[in-house]
A and B are shown apart, each in its own frame.
Chain A
């Protein structure tokens, strides 16, 4: 058993390493193909002679060839050093830590909300006992999913502040921040907007309906047993864990927009800024962390599914 787990871990580890290599390499190449370079962060390029610009590039190490730069980045990355941000001069690991937990908080809460909403709606719809509620919730989810997330963000800000005066707008010094309130609106926007909720609901409902038609459920019903006990593993845990893992990239992507709109100082804003500055160490760091999160979610999903159904391990 231990040997099997070890083998599985080794296999996943290899896959992850290859994934990281490919993802960062792709990012690096794309960044360098894009026009513009980070020199503009430091000086006004137009006011310098080409030799002076070259001197700046040399100082930043940008004059080395691409393979050399990628190789040296990779070498240090393996030792846990992601380099320093070209924009702020701070280590990229510090920047990621500073912003990453906020993004995880936002994305994690949003996903929890998505799943909660989807699970309730799908359950009601599949069981068919409260058709009105089920239809209302489904319709609500579809409409929200159909709206662009940035627009929904503005709408939510408008409603929450201008119309109802219920929420402060942003966190931090000088804001009338009252604990969890500032947190609520962006989570709702990202959780229910962003196009994921309708998809998750639909998937879950279909899956649940399928499970409900299974023989063992009919047997359970006939016995008068509590349906939930028989339903939750196949009906919820299995589809939810795979949906969760699949949707993480979308939620992280949506977080970039939501953070921008809500002035949420997370990784999304860091990414946005780094992309416009061509701050490639930061971008590579973000890419790596995002890949890590996606990969970790995948592994957790596998583990959960194997725990539920050991047959899947083979």
Chain B
């Protein structure tokens, strides 16, 4: 499924710092034990800059720190920076670093401390033209970064933005450990054997691809309780569940939806729900003259029994949505109700659009006597069994109202080419994953319809354009919310997408692991406080 971005940029409250945490962990929980977690797919690289997938994003939570981090409630909290201040024009952020953070011992750098030079260096590496990183676009907002003295540094933004602090949570790397000090490429050994400042340090990557990490004894928040954490990559989601059930893994980061019931019934495991800010939809191509008619798109929504699909294919583990934001988002408008399943209404709307004559084949007759038909392009990526069922159900629902859906399955990259570059599709099924900025500007702005841009459906509406610009430029959070809620109303009415649902993801963790708290999508942000009781280690 599509991911708009894997870069974690999460909003927070612009609170000033809390005091630093003592270097000794005083929670009284025991140290020791090992946690093996199963991931679907192996990370291509292990450093926080070149990595471009969720597996790598989660892994770097264990190995690295940022200037700021997030609390379980997703508020911005101090991490490498102990405090910060913001200039009155909201453009200049001054950070004071903690003075007690060391790079992990294996860096070969002895007892080197994390300094402002490392932070400046990291941002320079991210922005260097030879560094190929998904972080480049998000950090274009930085105009300048410079060290002020041995403990402080200053980041200047090009323009003030809401949630700037949350967006400065990039992971800091020891640039002195890179092969070339000013950029990072994949042939740099650092990408496969990185050194960080985080609670765990890389021990080795086995030939099987297991990433073995050991506790960092001199972690500045205190040694993590677990002795060892191992990332175990799997090539098959079905096998992942089996591995958990047969003790080859203690944790699975995302349980295959059809295995949830089985794991729920197993006393050895706890399931932890987490809501990624993402949703699934059918996107309609406005370049098709029939789909460009609002009645037709609305009819498709009325004809589709979304609740039934959610219940039968995902055991109801999710929420139907009515508009372009994820329901967990602050921008979501709860007053907009999602369109009910109503085939009769769908037929009325189709008749209004001029399609009321049934052909001999049971489908409505469109222009030139052909049946009213669309091609649904479905990406084949990894495990797509359930997506296949959704597509087949959709085909069947629309048949009931006289629309013929032809299914076309395309290999993932070929699908992207068709959808994003050639715009060669009628309807697609896809998902967006968001960061908390709830920024839908690239999805529906009329300036974003060319090749590789996110508005691949070709939606254009001057009112929406104006609202999008307003939401982006205002610094007033309340105003932003009001504007986004208005956008929600319009897009729910216009139905450029048939909005489907947000799924609840579940991580399964063995009960021996205690004090488990998960960040919504980075998961391991608080793993330093997890522990396993002595007798269960």
Contact = CB atoms under 8 A, between A and B. Distances in A.
27 contacts: A35-B414, A36-B412, A40-B413, A41-B52, A44-B5, A44-B6, A44-B7, A45-B420, A46-B442, A46-B454, A52-B137, A59-B185, A89-B188, A161-B242, A161-B246, A172-B206, A174-B210, A175-B248, A176-B246, A259-B235, A260-B235, A261-B236, A263-B235, A263-B243, A273-B42, A276-B381, A277-B44
A276 B413 contact: yes
Interface string B36-50: 100000101100001
Nearest to B212: A173
A154 interface: yes
Interface stretch (A19-27, A124-132, A163-171, A219-227): A163-171
A236 interface: no
A154 B136 contact: no
Interface in A200-250: none
Nearest to B2: A46
Given A52-B137, A278-B413, 7 more contacts: A41-B44, A46-B454, A59-B185, A88-B44, A168-B246, A174-B232, A260-B235
A259 B209 CA distance: 14
Nearest to A102: B207
Contacts of B421: 35
Nearest to B234: A263
A42 interface: yes
B235 A89 contact: no
Interface string A260-304: 111101000100110011100000000000000000000000000
A60 B186 CA distance: 10
The 8 closest A-B pairs by CB, nearest first: A36-B413, A89-B186, A35-B417, A172-B208, A174-B36, A42-B132, A47-B137, A173-B210
A48 B134 CA distance: 9
A55 interface: yes
B414 A265 contact: no
A52 B52 CA distance: 17
Contacts of A53: 452
Nearest to A157: B242
Interface residues of A, number: 52
Interface residues of B, number: 59
Contacts of B34: 174
A46 B52 CA distance: 13
A34 B235 contact: no
A53 B138 CA distance: 15
B125 to A, nearest CB: 14
Contacts of A276: 381, 411-413
A154 B413 CA distance: 27
B413 A88 contact: no
Contact of A169 (B52, B248, B418): B248
Given A42-B133, A44-B5, A261-B236, A90 B413 contact: no
B151 interface: no
Nearest to A262: B239
Contacts of A162: 242
Contacts of A269: 235
B413 A176 contact: no
A170 B245 CA distance: 13
